[in-house]
């Protein structure tokens, strides 16, 4: 979380202090203005393919993520699922790099999902919240960059970080400290030791 926020600050500082490093900034932090119609078509096609494959693989992948040993015992090909998931993730990153950059792709992959995880333990709801946070931060960052003077990447990462900290606060308010360490859903609740 801290890494993604510091990367957003890095975009801001590079933009302020090095006006001649636009090529490096474009590679590291992306440039929404350099996206062509062909890039949009490739992104749309690969995004649709990834969504279809993830919908097909969702249940076995969730099972293998929560309890890999039990999933393997039930006949789920855990290793093959892991490899396929990493390939789909690599395709997603490769497509997104041109727009959001090499370094900031981490922020949009991890931070919204981490924020959603603090708000709910239901997989479908967590995914929906993660997408909503990502879209809100991206659109908000683009709007702020249009009316402001700093790069869109800085605003996007700042907004995702803000959502993460709000999720932490909401979780702390919902679950007092003594209840925060919740057991894993697949493990039995053991009686407290006396």
Residue 141 has pLDDT above 90, yes or no: no
What pLDDT score does 52 carry?
93
**What is the Cα gyration radius of the chain?**
19
What pLDDT score does 194 carry?
47
Give the containing element (helix H, strand E) for 92. helix 78-100
Burial tier of 1 (Cβ tally within 10 Å: 0-12, 13-18, 19+): middle
Residue 84: closest CA among 97, 106, 65: 65
**Cα angle 152, 50, 42; round to 5:** 60
CA distance 10 to 8: 5
Average pLDDT for residues 142-170, to the nearest whole number? Answer: 87
For the chain, what percent of residues have pLDDT higher than 90?
Answer: 14
User: In this predicted model, what pLDDT tens digit does every residue of 6-43 receive, in sequence order?
Assistant: 666 666 666 666 555 555 556 566 666 677 888 888 88
Q: Which of 41-45, 142-146, 178-182 has the lowest mean pLDDT?
A: 178-182
Q: What distances in angstroms separate CA 188 from CA 5, 74, 92, 191, one per listed residue?
A: 37, 20, 36, 9
Answer yes or no: pTM beyond 0.85: no
Instruction: Provide the pLDDT confidence category of residue 136 given band limits of 50, 70 and 90.
Output: very high
Domain ranges of the chain: 1-30+102-179, 33-100
User: In this predicted model, what pLDDT tens digit does every residue of 66-109 receive, in sequence order?
Assistant: 888 888 888 888 889 888 888 888 888 888 777 777 667 878 88
User: In this predicted model, what pLDDT tens digit does every residue of 97-132 receive, in sequence order?
Assistant: 777 776 678 788 889 999 999 998 888 898 899 999
What pLDDT score does 140 carry?
92
What pLDDT score does 77 carry?
87
């Amino acid at each position: 979380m801290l890494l993604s926020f510091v990367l957003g600050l890095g975009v801001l500082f590079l933009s302020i202090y090095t006006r001649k490093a636009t090529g490096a900034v474009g590679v590291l932090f992306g440039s929404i203005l350099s996206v062509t119609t062909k890039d949009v078509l490739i992104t749309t096609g690969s995004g649709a393919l990834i969504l279809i494959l993830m919908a097909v693989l969702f249940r076995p992948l969730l099972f293998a993520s929560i309890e890999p040993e039990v999933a393997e015992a039930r006949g789920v090909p855990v290793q093959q699922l892991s490899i396929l998931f990493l390939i789909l993730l690599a395709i997603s990153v490769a497509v997104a790099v041109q727009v959001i950059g090499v370094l900031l792709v981490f922020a949009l992959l991890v931070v919204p999902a981490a924020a959603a995880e603090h708000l709910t333990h239901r997989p479908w709801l967590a995914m929906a919240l993660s997408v909503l946070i990502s879209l809100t931060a991206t659109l908000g960052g683009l709007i702020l960059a249009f009316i402001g003077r700093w790069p869109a990447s800085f605003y996007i990462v700042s907004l995702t970080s803000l959502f993460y900290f709000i999720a932490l606060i909401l979780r702390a308010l919902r679950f007092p400290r003594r209840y925060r360490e919740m057991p894993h859903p697949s493990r039995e609740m053991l009686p407290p030791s006396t």
